[in-house]
Amino acid sequence: MKKLFPTVIFATALLSGCALYASTNFQPYETKNGTFVGQGGAKETIDGVDFWTSGEPPRKFQMLGVIDDDRVNNPITMNSLKGAVALKAKQAGGDAVIWSGESNRHGDRASSKFAVIKYLD
């Protein structure tokens, strides 16, 4: 038991430290006509949320908002990117996200932008 305690403390500090180096923020999107129909594309599903990485869903959808993610560019924080985006999209009532196609890396930082959408059919 005594050997396990330092490991648990280290893991907790590591994970809580990583949270300080990442932010995932949602901003609502407002428009008169927020209904769209895409032509299709490539997607993967993470934690129940569809990630459209190329193209848009070939069905009717509504844009709910935008997620901006900024984090330290290292394997630990980048590995949690999609999970953090999926959680934020679910909290906003979204079924899917569309990657904007831009991922900026500035030194040790990486930022990404996703549109949060809700399927209408």
Structural tokens at position 90? 């679910």
Q: How far apart are CA 88 and CA 94, in angstroms?
A: 9
pLDDT in tens, 60-100: 999 999 999 998 888 888 888 999 999 999 999 999 999 98
For the chain, give the DSSP string.
-TTHHHHHHHHHHHHHHHHTTEEEEEEE---S--EEE--EEEEEEETTEEEEEEEE-SSEEEEEEEEEEEEE-SHHHHHTHHHHHHHHHHHTT-SEEEEEEEEEEETTEEEEEEEEEEE--
Phi-psi region of 14 (alpha: psi -120 to 50; beta: other; left: phi over 0): alpha
Beta carbons of 57 and 35 less than 8 angstroms apart? no
pLDDT in tens, 45-70: 999 999 999 999 999 999 999 999 99
Beta carbons of 117 and 98 less than 8 angstroms apart? yes
What pTM value is reported for the model? 0.77
Domain ranges across the chain: 4-119
